[in-house]
Amino acid sequence: MRRQRWAAFVATLLVATSIAHTASAQTVDAGRGAIPLHVPPSYSALTPAPLIVLLHGYTSSGAVTEAYMQFSPLADEFGFLLIAPDGLVDCGTNPFWNATDACCHFCGGVVDDVGYLTALIDAIKAGYNVDAQRIYFMGHSNGGFMSYRMACERSHLVAGVATLAGATYLDPLDCNPSEPVHTLQIHGTADATILYGGGIINAGTVVNVSYPGAVQTTETWATFNGCSLTPDASPPNLDLESTIVGNESTVSRYDAGCMSGGSAELWTIPAGSHVPSLSTDFSREIVLHFLAHPKPAATAVPAFDTRSLLVLGLSLAAMGFVAVVVRGQAAQST
């Protein structure tokens, strides 16, 4: 009997070791190669974790954008999953996202980045317990345009998007969200690349379409979300730019009358450039905004995968149900 118990314990330990190794694998592949996934130390398969997808700008990369914005330490602090994928390389060898009609697929051809990013989320859900009420996109420039496209076409998945120097579609008819989405537009008034008041990228090229300004982008999404177009300008200023003394950035909040799960907000950085010198509060304020704006519970779809169930079994085993786990593994192998 003692030998049988020891064998059961060893078998459970081997299963636990195997699952722990798999659960600690921190890359995800959705068809374009392995992408690093930042998993916070506090992650548990028993507790759904929020997910933030960080999208780089044109010519940049996920790693460079993460180094600029520093979301990883916040992922550890707040317990969310973080991934920063790379777009494909265009004919000029520049990484890009095929976002809105204004930015930034300059070389033509079919590129389904909506499909890829959706598959990336699905791949993460297959390996981790993702909180379906808290899936967010944060994008810079071209990545901001792409974040808005995801909100347009995958509103059933996306709880909220935030963009630094991004823009949505100029024509609201090009965007058809099926559900409300929380949006946050962050823009510097001195941005000479993506103009605060809107403009055209690469006028005269294959992409010769205007994009809306920061206020118009925010009001477009306020309209989508059923919000009043009279913003609340009473929220206190924020410190988003490190070279400007004090809390320089103004907040315009469109959250009155909104449908459940929707709101729109604009943070304006006075004299802010396309790549502002970010304060230590910048990314923290975005994370706090995200986590305070989940999808309504009624629209959430549970994402609890086989791996999570196995880890649950191990947790039960640790509390004295060793034989149950071992018998379950034996049953699965037959």
- pLDDT digit string (tens) for 121-136? 999 999 999 999 999 9
The answer on pLDDT for 137 being more than 50 is yes
Mean pLDDT over all residues of the chain? 86
Ordered domains of the chain (ranges, CATH): 1-28+305-334 (no CATH), 31-303 (3.40.50.1820)
The answer on pLDDT for 51 being more than 70 is yes
The answer on pLDDT for 8 being more than 50 is no
Least confident of 101-110, 119-128, 280-289: 101-110
Q: Which residues pair with 96 in a beta bridge?
A: 88
Q: Look at the pTM and tell me if it is higher than 0.85.
A: no
Q: Going by C-beta distance under 8 Å and a sequence separation of 6 or more, which residues neighbour residue 33?
A: none
The answer on pLDDT for 19 being more than 60 is no
- Identify which has the larger pLDDT, 173 or 207: 173
On the CB side of 74, how many CA atoms lie within 13 Å of its CA? 22
- Residue 301 confidence class, pLDDT cut points 50, 70, 90: very low
- Amino acid identity at 130: V
Predicted local confidence at residue 209, as pLDDT: 86
The answer on pLDDT for 181 being more than 80 is yes
- Residue 108 confidence class, pLDDT cut points 50, 70, 90: confident
Least confident of 102-111, 234-243, 260-269: 102-111
Buried/exposed 164-197: b ≥16 CB within 10 Å, e otherwise: bbbbbbbebeebebebbbbbbbbbbeebeebbbe
Instruction: Find the mean pLDDT for residues 17-41.
Output: 75
Name the packing angle between helices 306-318 and 2-23 (round to 10°): 140
Residue in the structure block whose two tokens are 């925010």: 218
> What are the φ/ψ torsions at residue 301 (nearest 5 degrees)?
-110, 120
The answer on pLDDT for 333 being more than 60 is no
Predicted local confidence at residue 233, as pLDDT: 87
Rounded to whole angstroms, the maximal C-alpha distance in the chain is 82
Name the percent of the chain lying above pLDDT 70: 80
Predicted local confidence at residue 316, as pLDDT: 39
